Amino acid sequence: MYQQHQFSCPIISGWGSISVLGDKIRELSCSRPLVVTDRGVKDAGVIDKVGGILREAGLEFTVYDGVRPDPSAEIVDEAVEAGLAFGCDIVIGVGGGSSMDTAKAATVRLSGYEGLTKDYVLAVPLKLETKVPVILVPTTTGTGSEVTRVAVISRPEFNVKWSVHLKNTTLAIVDPQFTVTLPRQETANTGLDALAHATEALTSKGADMYSDLFAVAAIRKIAEYLYRSWSEPENTDARTNMAVAANWAGLAFDCPMCHLPHAIGDAFGCHFHTEHGHSCSLGLAEGMRLVAPVVPEKMAIIAEAMGISLTGTETGEQLGDLVADWIYALMRKMEFVSLHSMGISREDVVACAKDVSVNHLASYCPVPITEETAAEVLGRLYDNYQ
């Protein structure tokens, strides 16, 4: 029996596609948007552009720009209170994954659920029906959050990142023009996060025909355009293709979910306060090396999509080595920062093993993730990328 695959939302993509925002809000019979973003996106002038489009459409709006990396439930509640005070009837999330996740999570309380956001962000994600429309506009090329149901929110009182699953996003607007000013480090972090989404989706226990289709297409584009967008920041062709690749990677993992590298990323984010894309990317190479022997056909597909020449006689272990080496080489070309260079010890990294093994994402890995297995993977990623 085939698995069900439900796409999260309609997508409008292309250079200048943000111009339709006001019309789309009107089509939804809404008139009072809450714009959720962070200070960096606002300072870059993105919100001025978005605001101009809203004003041209005759829409009054308010902006909450207090989002911070790995937003807490309290930050979501601040956004909610801003929306309630304004009487908003739609939420517009503009920025990276943190802003878009905050926007999605805010629709829980704005849809009438009582209490605080922390009541709905749990270790085993709740699946909630939300009523308030949400339009998401990414400004990075990695998160894919604009096309996923999940909102990942930090619970610092427990030193964890948990999530809530929501009704489908109403609309995603993927406009590559907003990514041209993305700094090099963020280009690398978010681009490798997109690669993690695609490769994890392809090798997840929940993978299906649709997720495979988008995952492979995303890997091919990332292999061709990520380094180019890093080394040539104003290359509009590279930026456009990376925006599409990140979006496809989001479509890929929405149903099958990510697995071990993202479980590692959650642990690193909580313990070392590393940025999400950076955290997940650090575990990607060793995550692929671990699963390669049990999904050799998928690993061969990944290798070929990356442009690695194969003879067709490689074992699963050999395919895992080839893919891991390719990932590490790309990381080095983009001057990706290692944990060692950040002053984090091997012992502290390995000590994250328990958190990795109990993370719900680990259950989607085709290899059972015990604390011992997690410790071995963490030790290898520390040793192999310094």
Q: Considering the chain, tell me which residue range(s) the CATH 1.20.1090.10 domain(s) occupy.
A: 182-384
pLDDT at 4: 65
pLDDT digits (tens, 9 = 90+) for 205-237: 999 999 999 999 999 999 999 999 999 999 999
Q: What's 161's DSSP letter?
A: E
CA atoms of 26 and 260, how far apart (whole Å): 41
pLDDT at 119: 96
CA atoms of 179 and 187, how far apart (whole Å): 9
Tokens of 219: 């890997």
pTM score of the predicted model: 0.93
| Topology given in CATH for the domain delimited by 11-178 | Rossmann fold (3.40.50)
* CB-CB contact of 264 with 279 (8 Å): yes
Contacts of 384 (CB under 8 A, 6+ apart): 285, 286, 324, 328
Measured N-to-C along each axis, helices 184-203 and 284-291 cross at an angle, to the nearest 10 degrees, of 20
Question: Could you tell me which of 381, 372, 377 has the C-alpha nearest to residue 354?
Answer: 372
Q: Considering the chain, tell me which residue range(s) the CATH 3.40.50.1970 domain(s) occupy.
A: 11-178
182-384 placed in CATH 1.20.1090.10: yes
CA atoms of 223 and 15, how far apart (whole Å): 22
* CB-CB contact of 141 with 245 (8 Å): yes
CA atoms of 248 and 13, how far apart (whole Å): 11
pLDDT digits (tens, 9 = 90+) for 35-69: 999 999 999 999 999 999 999 999 999 999 999 99
DSSP string for residues in 274-326: --HHHHHHHTHHHHHHHHGGG-HHHHHHHHHHTT----S---HHHHHHHHHHH
Helices (H), 87-163: 97-110
For the chain, report the end-to-end CA distance as a whole number of angstroms.
Answer: 45
Q: Is 177 helix (H, G, I), strand (E, B) or coil?
A: helix
* CB-CB contact of 68 with 101 (8 Å): no
**Residues lower than pLDDT 70 in the chain:** 1-6, 8, 168
pLDDT at 1: 40
Task: Give Cα separations from 153 to 55, 84, 162, 276 (angstroms).
Answer: 31, 20, 6, 12
Helices (H), 142-232: 184-203, 209-231
Q: Which residues are paired to 92 by β-bridges?
A: 35, 135
